[in-house]
Structure 1
């Protein structure tokens, strides 16, 4: 049986709940989650050249992951802070950035990944604070996900949606199933399900959850969420 684990994590530019920037803590948490593919949000620093929040040399030395090359900005890991990490042994095929309609600058990323005998298309996103713009951005991501050859698809990220099943959640639910991972924000006392993982019918969800280790409660103001699938 072919299995794969995915995760989504808003790393807040590697600034922890103690307001200290420590990318090593983020890498520690990623190692604990042990996912095959990870969508990161706020993966780049906010100002200046928007350099990667996790230095490439540090990721190479302390983790089993590599970023999908987005070829957008030289020093950045992601696109508007969105990045996709895969295990070093994974094969990355087509990959791209998505230009989303926005009130504040937003984007999404896509990669087709082969790992553990599974071919999967992954979208990572961080949607707007405005509900109207979230729905427009969701429509753009759904449209992009439905283009091209049929392939098992996972969509994940920080949707910034506080409602239980309305707004952009209802839009996504018309096309994809949600993994009921749980509450991920705020990391020290989670009250909201801002981070979400969605999947197509070709993938069978076997387990999912929120990673709530002591390290995760310090490394960012969001907790990482994860989901296991079989194909």
Structure 2
């Protein structure tokens, strides 16, 4: 049997970590070191007016290779902001917009990854800051779960590991990895999580210390069997 599938979810914070200046090469180096098969990357941020570097999506795509689905949720061209799903295996899918309220649009990348173990359904997302919005977004993501091995990855922006988001998602994806991941230098709360089901089992989970200098979130690494 092939090794467990390695999945990463990481909020890149616009490539800003120690030094408070965007350093995409540092972020890319860390992602390569983790050697994930699938990676959900949040806060891909090219907004130059906020001190970010332009072409954030383009920098990641060029630096990682493989296969990519983008959720460019606002902004245009090289200054777009959103999140990305990367895979070393072919993938296909779509971006589904999520309900608010909130000042920023939110979405989920709904994808199918053709892995050596067979197809894996992936839901990659970044929830909003308002509790009401998160509850509605969790319900929407739960409604996208179909049959077959599935994993939901992302920054769910909820401090309570057993709160409303967790209850809604675990009703359809019972396995969970939720380790303290924020703030990166002294992690206290599990904002970054993975939920799995449909025959997919989480057989290992850990935060990645190498991500600490490169963002305000730690990356969460999950080993998956199905």
TM range (shorter): 0.7 to 0.9
In structure 2, the residue matched to 1:101 is 99
Q: How has the CA–CA distance of structure 1 residues 186 and 70 changed in structure 2, closer, same or farther, with 3 Å as cutoff?
A: closer
- Are the equivalent residues in 2 in contact too, given 1:178–1:196 (CA < 8 A)? no
Q: Secondary structure at the match of 1:81?
A: strand
- Give the Å deviation of 1:91: 1.5
Higher strand share: 2
CA pair 11-85 structure 1, distance change in 2 beyond 3 A: same
Contact 1:23 1:54 in 2 (8 A): no
> SS of the counterpart of 2:188?
coil
1: CA distance, partners of 2:101 / 2:67:
31
Task: Look up the SS of the partner of 1:183 in the other structure.
Answer: coil
- Whether 2:91 is the aligned partner of 1:92: answer yes
Match of 1:228 in 2: 223
Q: Is the Cα contact below 8 Å between 1:131 and 1:168 reproduced in 2?
A: no
Structure 1 equivalent of residue 145 of structure 2: 145
Q: Which has the higher contact order (CA 8 A, sep 6+)?
A: 1
Confirm or deny: 8 A CA contact 1:17 1:220 kept in the other structure: yes
Q: Per the alignment, do residues 77 and 225 of structure 1 end up closer, same or farther by CA in structure 2, a change over 3 Å counting?
A: farther
Q: Which runs of 5+ in 2 are unaligned?
A: none
Root-mean-square deviation (Å): 2.5
181 and 96 in structure 1: CA distance in 2 versus 1, 3 angstrom threshold: same
Please show how residues 135-174 of structure 1 align to structure 2 within 5 Å: 135-146=135-146, 150-174=147-171
Partner of 1:18: 19
What does 1:34-73 correspond to in 2, within 5 Å? 34-46=35-47, 52-56=55-59, 59-60=61-62, 62-68=63-69
CA distances 1:117-169 after superposition (whole Å, capped 9, x unpaired): 331011111111111110101111111223xxx22111010000001201111
111-120 vs 153-162, which moves further: 111-120
Instruction: Name the structure 1 match of 2:84.
Output: 83
Q: TM-score, normalised by structure 2?
A: 0.87
In 2, distance between residues paired with 1:152 and 1:54? 28
| Counterparts of 2:85 and 2:79, CA distance in 1 | 9
Change (3 A) 1:71 1:223: closer
Residues 71 and 83 of structure 2 are in contact (CA less than 8 Å); yes or no, is this contact kept in structure 1?
A: no
Answer whether contact 1:27 1:59 (CA < 8 A) is retained: no
What's the secondary structure of 1:26's corresponding residue? helix
TM-score (norm 1): 0.85
Partner Cα distance (1:15, 1:71) in 2: 19
The corresponding residue for 1:130 is 130
Change (3 A) 1:112 1:31: same
Contact 2:181 2:218 in 1 (8 A): yes
Q: CA deviation at 1:113?
A: 0.8
